């Protein structure tokens, strides 16, 4: 549940979804929990009711003490390198099954957090908060970072700031033919400390595109896919690149019919993106 979505997929988003009537905020089943993470705590807020719409926004999440006062925890946008996104947050809202992620980072030394408050439609919901909070270090230096909405029942945590030192490189053969293309990504850490991708763990997005023409500039096919790195706890250490063998990409995988034929020398470009890490691109040519 504590995962970071890939950057938004720009392919088609599908058809419209029928919008049920709005939920009244006081009719919702709610829950808010936290768990310890490398740079503070991660939180999940669940809002649920069948048969009505829950229109909300993770950016409205606030931390509240037992007296109903909003805690003075600064709000932050967090790591904005390829920020995690959602193509269709309305699907979760219209299904009445919303899970929002947030991060509370750094140190905190103020009044205890008793609940979280989140806006729903024109009102708000106050939800008791269960779980740990950031420890008190040298003063209150923490911040509250909202996630985004994804598919029904799936949370999207913000990408940790620690991932900013990661870089990705795609390893492709210089030439390729029609058939599966192995997807190999090498992650490196330019920082001084190991970086964990265990809690939260990242989803990733891949795009395979083929172009041809006199200068290879005419895009004739684009195919997107992806996956996640949640099957094992990955750690990227400084000066120790981590190689990920992520299966194969189907090629060609065209949506246009009849299929445009490949031509010797056509460039095939693979792009790999993960929230919090600069996008990686590599190109091979049809042999």
Structural domains of the chain in order of their starting residue, each with its CATH number: 3-159 (no CATH), 162-286 (2.60.40.10)
3-state SS, residue 261? coil
Q: What is the pLDDT of residue 38?
A: 83
Residues of the chain with pLDDT > 70: what percent?
90
pLDDT band for position 105 (50/70/90)?
A: very high
CA 226-57-5 angle, 5° bins: 15
Mean pLDDT of 51-76: 95
pLDDT band for position 259 (50/70/90)?
A: low
Residues 6+ apart with CB under 8 A from 154: 1, 3, 5, 92, 99
140-182 pLDDT tens trace: 788 999 999 988 988 899 999 999 999 999 999 888 877 788 8
Order of strands across the sheet that contains 242-249: 166-171, 181-189, 242-249
191-242 pLDDT tens trace: 999 999 988 999 999 988 877 655 555 555 666 788 999 988 899 999 999 9
Q: What does each C-alpha distance from 17 to 87, 131, 154 come to in angstroms?
A: 13, 35, 18
CA 65-66-70 angle, 5° bins: 25
Question: Could you tell me if 5 and 272 are in contact, meaning their C-beta atoms sit under 8 angstroms apart?
Answer: no
- Lowest-confidence pick of 63-67, 104-108, 110-114, 261-265: 261-265
Q: What is the pLDDT of residue 219?
A: 56
Q: Cα separation of 273 and 281, whole Å?
A: 9
Question: Could you tell me if 272 and 185 are in contact, meaning their C-beta atoms sit under 8 angstroms apart?
Answer: yes
pLDDT band for position 282 (50/70/90)?
A: very high
Q: What share of the chain is helix, strand, coil (3-state, %, to 5)?
A: 5, 45, 50
Q: What is the pLDDT of residue 243?
A: 97
Q: What is the pLDDT of residue 260?
A: 60
Q: Cα separation of 64 and 192, whole Å?
A: 36
Mean pLDDT of all residues in the chain?
A: 88
Q: Cα separation of 206 and 208, whole Å?
A: 7
Residues of the chain with pLDDT > 90: what percent?
62
Q: What is the pLDDT of residue 253?
A: 62
Mean pLDDT of 244-259: 70
Tally: H helices and E strands in the chain: 1, 20
Question: Could you tell me if 286 and 269 are in contact, meaning their C-beta atoms sit under 8 angstroms apart?
Answer: no
Question: Could you tell me if 199 and 1 are in contact, meaning their C-beta atoms sit under 8 angstroms apart?
Answer: no
């Amino acid at each position: 549940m504590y995962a970071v979505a890939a950057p938004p997929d720009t392919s088609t988003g599908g058809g419209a979804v029928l919008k049920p009537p709005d939920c009244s905020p006081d009719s919702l089943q709610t829950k808010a929990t936290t768990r310890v993470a490398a740079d503070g705590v991660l939180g999940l807020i669940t809002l649920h009711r069948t048969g009505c719409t829950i229109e909300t926004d993770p950016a409205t999440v606030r931390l509240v003490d037992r007296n109903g006062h909003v805690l003075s925890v600064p709000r932050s946008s967090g790591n904005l390198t390829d920020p995690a996104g959602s193509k269709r947050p309305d699907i979760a809202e219209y299904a009445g099954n919303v899970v929002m992620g947030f991060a509370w980072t750094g140190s905190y030394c103020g009044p205890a957090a008793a609940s979280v408050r989140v806006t729903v439609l024109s009102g708000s919901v106050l939800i008791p908060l269960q779980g740990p909070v950031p420890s008190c270090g040298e003063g209150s230096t923490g911040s509250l970072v909202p996630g985004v909405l994804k598919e029904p029942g799936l949370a999207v945590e913000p990408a940790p700031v620690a991932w900013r030192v990661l870089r990705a490189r795609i390893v492709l053969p210089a030439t390729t033919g029609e058939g599966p293309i192995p997807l190999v990504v090498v992650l490196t850490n330019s920082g001084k400390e190991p970086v964990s991708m265990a809690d939260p763990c990242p989803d990733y997005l891949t795009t395979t595109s083929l172009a041809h023409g006199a200068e290879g500039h005419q895009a004739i096919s684009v195919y997107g896919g992806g996956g996640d790195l949640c099957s094992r706890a990955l750690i990227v250490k400084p000066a120790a690149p981590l190689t990920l063998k992520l299966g194969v990409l189907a090629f060609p995988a065209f949506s246009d019919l009849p299929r445009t034929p490949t031509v010797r020398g056509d460039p095939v470009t693979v792009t790999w993106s993960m929230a919090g890490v600069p996008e990686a691109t590599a190109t091979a040519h049809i042999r």
